[in-house]
Amino acid sequence: MTCCLEGRNPMQASNSPGNIITHMQLAPLVDISLVLVIIFMVTAPILDTPGSLQVDLPKAATIEADSQDNLTITLTASGETALNAQALPLSKLELSLRPIVAEHPDRLVLIRADKQASHRQVLELLGVAKKSGAKKIAIATVQRPRQ
């Protein structure tokens, strides 16, 4: 084994001050990366659903809307309604929705209705969204894989 520094042990040359470190331990970096991936996998489903009302959505093969700036109206099977996770009676929903839509007219109003909710209730929510001035309205469904 030849060393570029004559008369010195290769181990001494690599540990002496002023030499460049030529290798790095990757095991700690991989460990930290895997821990971060596990943390994101556990917390992502928690952050996915807005609100505390449990809704069983119908299934459809659609493209998912960007939920960052959506206004979400939720309708449970028992008929409870909420606007962006704030429970509101249907009679006050339009009054709460109108100023938000007036301030941000390009926002999507997303209706999350339980599949057990009646068609009439969903149509009432569509009417409320339309009366409040919403131009973009969508109905949320559970994504199923395309074939």
- Output the average pLDDT for the chain: 78
Could you count the other beta carbons within 10 Å of the beta carbon of residue 20?
A: 5
The predicted model gives 125-134 an average pLDDT of 89
**In whole angstroms, how large is the CA radius of gyration of the chain?**
28
Residues 6+ apart with CB under 8 A from 4: 13
Assess whether pLDDT exceeds 90 at residue 38.
yes
Model confidence, pTM = 0.54
* Residue 8 token pair: 């010195």
Residues 6+ apart with CB under 8 A from 102: 133
Fold of 59-143: Nucleotidyltransferase; domain 5 (3.30.420)
**Residues 97, 125: contact at Cβ < 8 Å?**
no
Residues facing 108 on adjacent strands: 136
Q: End-to-end CA distance of the chain: give it in Å, rounded.
A: 60
β-pairing, 136-139 vs 142-143, is unpaired
Assess whether pLDDT exceeds 80 at residue 12.
no
Give Cα separations from 145 to 49, 60, 69, 131 (angstroms).
19, 9, 25, 34
- The whole-number pLDDT of residue 44 equals 79
